[in-house]
Amino acid sequence: MSQLVWLRNDLRVNDNPALNAACLRGPTTCIFLVDASQWQHHDMSPWRVALTLRTVDCLSQQLAQLGIKLIIRGCNSFAEAPKVIVQCAQELAANCVFFNAEIALNEQRRDDKVEAALEQSGIQCERHHSFTHLPPGAVTKPDGSGYTVFTPFKKRWLAHPLALPSTPLPPPESQGPTVEPEQTPNNVGGIEKTFGADLWEAGEAAAQNCLSNFLQSRAKLYSTQRDLPDQPGTSQLSPHLACGSISTGQCLYAAYRANDNRLHGGNAGIDTWISELIWREFYNHILAANPRLSRGEAFRRETENLEWNHNQEWLERWQAGQTGFPLVDAGMRQLNTSGWMHNRLRMVTSQFLVKHLFINWREGERYFMQNLVDGDLAANNGGWQWSASTGTDAVPYFRMFNPIRQAERFDPSGAFVRAQIPELARAQGKSIFTPWQYTDTSHYVKPIVDLSAARDATLAAWKRMRATLT
């Protein structure tokens, strides 16, 4: 009897539990569902759609070399998935379907329906875990409840017996002669598969090269350079983690080995990067424990009473990078032209929207998802609710990043701003920080708000909301 592996955000042959288990059981075929309508419904960006399609093509070729066929099928919605998966399993006479579980609510409901349909058809189903290193629910307080603050979560995560990364699972052994690889469509939902290919290399080999280059050349400086947007201080692995061309376990294992076999207490830069991977774990564990977050609800329920501004002009100027505050605008333009934004700037731009413009964090969360090549529901939602002070372990409501001070601190030469904003390419000295105050840069768009007045208005709105709680 044959086995069927349903691939989703685990597009790799190495360290893939579902694929590994299936191939150990017997002859295996894989399937990937191209679900343009559902991707659009979930605000999957054109950058990520195109990268996913190219990654599937790379994986198809890898599997073909192992004699494993990857079937690519169209699927109009999650509701169609049970029918498509069951039909494919029946065509192959597969006795079991394997897949790695996903964490978001809609995906869990889809998987439950697929499993029920398979069982009704007399086909076994086997779920595995791969999206986070430690599965949701594995890190709990002594009383069994989940953590909602990162620092104690990290401490308990590091102490978990399975936190120490083991050697990643190898690729499956060849199961026969090379087969002809299938390829994804060149255009899906109006998005060309080649979109962004010059910026984002797809596939498992690219992910492994990215990880290796980072650990060899930049990781030890990560703690000091990760906040400087004009420096290549970050790993650039987030798009690969999002589509699963590399696993968190592979990243942790490589970092552990590069850090003298330590997850903490080694090099400051590598320690900091490992901590960022644990932040990713934290937000996914929070999402799993609180399914309502997948429905757009605030983690802190009382903040649903905040009276957000509804100003379409402000929102559109923020989206376009036309707020008049150079570092905010530079970050938004980087997002709009590359599908990616430096992590420090994600905090700066989101804080500006939710604190100074006091626009609902959901507007920013959605815009990021619609434009990020590395869009991940848990991390994006966690980050936005952190900035908005509505989430778990969030920044205090009265803390607001001043975009001018942030620019002076993290882009002191103005190199990043000049590279992203042609209008300020010739700005000299301090005019790069406050262009409206200088004649040589007065042509640049004027500030959308007065920072001091905006801060006072936001604090007043929070005060009104907090007064309703007493």
User: Among all residues, which ones are annotated catalytic?
Assistant: 276, 279, 308, 343, 361, 384
How far apart are the C-alpha atoms of 161 and 183, rounded to whole Å? 41
Separation between Cα atoms, residue 44 and residue 445, nearest integer Å = 31
Task: Decide the pairing of beta strands 94-100 and 70-74.
Answer: unpaired
Sheet holding 28-34, edge to edge: 70-74, 28-34, 2-7, 94-100, 124-128
Residue 126 C-alpha from the chain's centroid = 26
What residue type is 59 in one-letter code? L
- Within 13 Å, how many C-alpha atoms sit on residue 142's CB side? 0
Among all chains, which residue has been given the structure tokens 């990760």? 226
Which position has the token pair 């968190």?
A: 248
Report which of 288, 282, 292, 301 is spatially closest to residue 382, judged by C-alpha positions: 282
Phi, psi of 31 (to 5 degrees): -140, 145
DSSP 3-state of 217: helix
* Number of continuous H segments (helices) and E segments (strands) in the chain: 19, 7
The whole-angstrom separation of Cα 347 and Cα 173 is 44
Count CB atoms within 10 A of the CB of residue 416: 24
Identify the burial level of 61 via C-beta atoms within 10 angstroms of its C-beta, where 0-12 means exposed, 13-18 middle and 19 or more buried. Answer: middle
The residues, any chain, with a CB within 8 Å of residue 277's CB and separated by 6 or more, are 133, 248, 251, 252, 255
Q: How far apart are CA 274 and CA 277, in angstroms?
A: 5
Tokens of 416: 């990043």
What separation in angstroms does the CA of 227 have from each of 252, 326, 338, 409?
Answer: 21, 17, 19, 9
